[in-house]
Chains A and B, each alone.
Chain A
Amino acid sequence: MKMFAFLFGCMLASGAFAADTCYQDVSMDCGQASNSLALPRCNAVFGNYGRHGNVATEMQAYANLHLERSYEYLLSASYYNNYQTNRAGFSKLFRKLSDEAWEKSIELIKHITKRGDTMDFARRSTQEEKTDKNYTVELHELESLAKALDTQKELAERAFYIHREATRNSPHTHDPEIAQYLEEEFVEKQADTIRNLAGHTADLKKFILANNGQDLSLALYLFDEYLQKVV
Chain B
Amino acid sequence: MKAVLFAVAALLAVCIPISAKQCNVNPVNIPKGWITMQQSCRGSMRRQIQTEVGASLQYLAMGAHFSRDGINRPGFAKLFFDAASEEREHAMKLIDYLLMRGELETDVTSLIQIRAPERKSWESGVDALEHALKMETEVTKSIRSVIIACESDPKFNDYHLVDYLTGEFLEEQYKGQRDLAGKASTLKKMLDRHSSLGEFLFDKKLLGMDI
Contacts and interface: CB of A to CB of B under 8 A. Distances in A.
A113 B68 contact: yes
B99 interface: yes
B153 interface: no
**Shortest beta-carbon contacts, A-B, top 9:** A140-B24, A44-B69, A121-B116, A119-B64, A113-B67, A122-B116, A79-B108, A217-B25, A136-B109
A78 interface: yes
Interface string A64-87: 000110010011001101111000
B108 A78 contact: yes
Contacts of B188: none
Contacts, number: 107
A138 B68 contact: no
A82 B104 contact: yes
B111 interface: yes
B33 to A, nearest CB: 13
Nearest to A70: B88
A121 B108 contact: no
B202 interface: no
Contacts of A228: none
Nearest to B91: A74
Interface residues of A, number: 42
A140 B23 contact: yes
B81 interface: yes
Interface stretch (A102-110, A157-165, A176-184): A102-110
Contacts of A110: 67, 77
Contact of B99 (A71, A74, A81, A113): A81
A207 B3 CA distance: 39
Interface of B: 21-25, 27-28, 30, 53, 57, 60-61, 63-65, 67-70, 77, 81, 84-85, 88, 91-92, 95-96, 99, 102-106, 108-109, 111-112, 114, 116-117, 120
B24 A113 contact: no
Given A82-B105, A113-B69, A208 B21 contact: yes
A43 interface: yes
Contacts of B53: 71
A135 B108 CA distance: 11
B103 A109 contact: no
24 contacts: A43-B69, A68-B114, A74-B91, A74-B92, A74-B95, A75-B108, A78-B104, A78-B111, A81-B104, A83-B102, A83-B105, A102-B88, A106-B60, A106-B81, A109-B67, A113-B64, A114-B67, A121-B57, A121-B117, A121-B120, A138-B108, A142-B24, A213-B21, A213-B22
A194 interface: no
Contacts of B61: 119, 121
B70 A43 contact: yes
B58 to A, nearest CB: 10
Contacts of B92: 74
A149 interface: no
Contacts of A155: none
A138 B106 contact: yes
Contacts of A74: 88, 91-92, 95, 112
Given A75-B112, A81-B99, A118 B68 contact: yes
A50 to B, nearest CB: 11
